[in-house]
Amino acid sequence: MDDIEQRATVAIDVGHVDLSPDRVNDMASALEVWDEERISALVHPLHYTELAALIERLPQHLRRTLITALGEDLHPDALSAIDYAVREQVIDLLEPRELASVVQEMDSDDVVDFVEDLDEADRRGVLEALPEDDRAQVEESLTYPGNSAGRMMQHELVAVPEFWTVGECIDYLRRAADHEELEGEDLLPEEFYDIYVVDPRRHPVGKLPLNRLLRTRRPVLLSEIMRREIKVIPATMDQEEVAFLFSQRDLVSAPVVDRDGRLAGVITIDDIVDVIQEEQEEDVLRLHGVPETDIFSGVVQTTRSRFAWLLVNLGTAVLASLVIGLFDATIEQVVALAVLMPIVASMGGNAGTQTLTVAVRALATRDLTPANALRVIGKESLVGAVNGLLFAALTGLVAWLWFDDPVIGVVIAMAMVSNLLIAGLAGASIPIGLQRLGVDPAIASTVFLTTVTDVVGFFSFLGLAALILI
């Protein structure tokens, strides 16, 4: 498991690599003067994630120089780890022969992940550079829906018939390894943790961990020691469902089957770590109206991706302003209301965001289900009401002392209770409602919550002030 843990750690750290500024500056200096010996010395000890980070952090003109210097020596995994926006630039810098050489060294799942975001011309060029069998596998994976098990599986696996003995299986593995050494042709995955046992129609009937194989005597049949209870993953299953399955069952690998139930590929834990990180980042970004990480994107592309969300927020802000406009006469008579309004709206928004974040995360981890939805909504509403009472006492006292008017303290206290109660209710119910409507809660929940807390906060505060003070 050491290698698995190491690869998992690497996957988590991608994008947060400890690459010192001095290392980047040293590389920039060497590239400026085209010091090939120094460039090679700086690149050689780097892990592929560090190389990817280095390429991302260099200015664009030096990035071009480094790619030229690396040529076919560019690590294939580094190309996969580079941010998508930068990867497009790197692809444009590589000659077709160099790109083909790099891609041929990738595992099939990495090739699929690499080519699925390319434009049609680049994708065709990469696929044509692959051997015919490899190209067929990649094209098959591309027929499955995006973010599905079929897209993330790797085709390299070990499958053996159930009538073999342990000795026959070990001999097969050794012959395949010898063939690879002599012919340079990969017959086995670079790394694998389980051997899959299949029937004559290539349907998986069991799984054999390597440790169990090596601990068993040669004459024993595989059918006697294999694990028959295996979780088979349909190629069309969403990657988030696959990650949840791995988490629930503590899987290291799992077989993927096609539409006819035949063994098509395998998913391993290192792929799942990438999915978990990707889904987590996606939810965080969407909650704040950013569709994807765009730190390396151009100004126009970044502006375009954020404009739509800001436009929606402008609409909600106008709605809140219309509510304020209904009470403009009240505000003119009691200026203190204009000073205190932001407090009520801000507290409601923050309280609602706390509940919203918990609810969205619970939906993603399947902890929040239709069975316990009402209980969760009730609990969050009660928490909002209790916090509302506590902060009502605090803000009411502050407002009383500030403006020397106990009635203003009562008004803001009552508004605080109602807004925090509604914030808790909305923060829990909005994500649940959106999910039932088939909308990703991470995308649209925030804008609805902001609208509710602003409108309720302003309406309750100013409405109570109009009734009590005027």
DSSP string, 232-270: -EETTSBHHHHHHHHHHHT-SEEEEE-TTS-EEEEEEHH
Looking at the fold, whether 361 and 440 belong to one and the same domain comes out as yes
First-last CA distance in the chain: 72
Residue 196 and residue 406: Cα distance in Å, rounded? 76
DSSP state of 66: H
Looking at the fold, whether 356 and 255 belong to one and the same domain comes out as no
Q: What is the pLDDT of residue 3?
A: 40
Residue 288 belongs to some domain of the structure? no
Query: Residue 419 — very low, low, confident or very high, per pLDDT cuts 50/70/90?
Result: very high
Contact (Cβ atoms closer than 8 angstroms) between residue 65 and residue 31: yes
Residue 375 belongs to some domain of the structure? yes
From the CB of residue 156, how many other CB atoms can be counted at a distance below 10 Å?
Answer: 19
Show the domain range for 316.
299-468
Of 158-172, 295-309, 350-364, which gets the smallest average pLDDT? 295-309
Is the pLDDT assigned to residue 278 strictly greater than 80? no
Looking at the fold, whether 130 and 167 belong to one and the same domain comes out as no
Query: Residue 186 — very low, low, confident or very high, per pLDDT cuts 50/70/90?
Result: low
Is the pLDDT assigned to residue 4 strictly greater than 70? no
Is the pLDDT assigned to residue 15 strictly greater than 60? no
Is the pLDDT assigned to residue 103 strictly greater than 50? yes
How high is the mean pLDDT of the chain? 83
Give pLDDT tens digits for 118-127: 777 778 877 8
Looking at the fold, whether 38 and 178 belong to one and the same domain comes out as no
Look at residues 377, 387, 446, 455 and name the one whose alpha carbon lies nearest to residue 420: 387
Looking at the fold, whether 254 and 365 belong to one and the same domain comes out as no
Looking at the fold, whether 97 and 165 belong to one and the same domain comes out as no
Give pLDDT tens digits for 248-273: 888 889 999 999 999 999 999 988 88
Looking at the fold, whether 334 and 434 belong to one and the same domain comes out as yes
Higher pLDDT pick, 321 / 430: 430
The encoded tokens of residue 319 equal 């709605």
Looking at the fold, whether 310 and 439 belong to one and the same domain comes out as yes
| Final residue of a structural domain among 144, 170, 195 | 144
From the CB of residue 3, how many other CB atoms can be counted at a distance below 10 Å?
Answer: 10
Count of domains for the chain: 3
Q: Which residue has the tokens 């001095």?
A: 22
Q: What is the pLDDT of residue 16?
A: 44
CATH number at residue 205: 3.10.580.10
Give pLDDT tens digits for 74-102: 888 888 788 777 887 787 777 767 777 77
Q: Which residue has the tokens 């994008």?
A: 15
Question: Span 311-339, mean pLDDT?
Answer: 80
Question: Span 298-311, mean pLDDT?
Answer: 69
Residue 25 belongs to some domain of the structure? yes
Q: What is the pLDDT of residue 288?
A: 60
Question: Span 209-227, mean pLDDT?
Answer: 94
Of 43-57, 106-120, 286-300, 455-469, which gets the smallest average pLDDT? 286-300
Residue 373 belongs to some domain of the structure? yes
CATH number at residue 61: 1.25.60.10
Looking at the fold, whether 313 and 449 belong to one and the same domain comes out as yes
Looking at the fold, whether 321 and 454 belong to one and the same domain comes out as yes
Q: Which residue has the tokens 């750690």?
A: 9
Residues 6+ apart with CB under 8 A from 43: 27, 51, 70
Residue 151 belongs to some domain of the structure? no
Residue 166 and residue 220: Cα distance in Å, rounded? 6
Question: Span 316-325, mean pLDDT?
Answer: 81
pTM of the model: 0.64
Q: What is the pLDDT of residue 309?
A: 66
Give pLDDT tens digits for 332-379: 778 888 888 889 888 998 899 899 888 888 887 778 888 899 999 999
CATH number at residue 314: 1.10.357.20
Residues 6+ apart with CB under 8 A from 257: 203, 204, 232, 233, 234, 235, 263, 264
| Final residue of a structural domain among 109, 144, 179 | 144
Residue 351 belongs to some domain of the structure? yes
Q: What is the pLDDT of residue 397?
A: 94
| Final residue of a structural domain among 228, 247, 269 | 269
Give the 3-state secondary structure of residue 44: coil
Question: Span 288-308, mean pLDDT?
Answer: 64
Is the pLDDT assigned to residue 181 strictly greater than 70? no
Is the pLDDT assigned to residue 18 strictly greater than 60? no
Residue 100 belongs to some domain of the structure? yes
Looking at the fold, whether 122 and 18 belong to one and the same domain comes out as yes
Of 16-25, 180-189, 238-247, 445-454, which gets the smallest average pLDDT? 180-189
Looking at the fold, whether 184 and 243 belong to one and the same domain comes out as yes
Residue 289 belongs to some domain of the structure? no
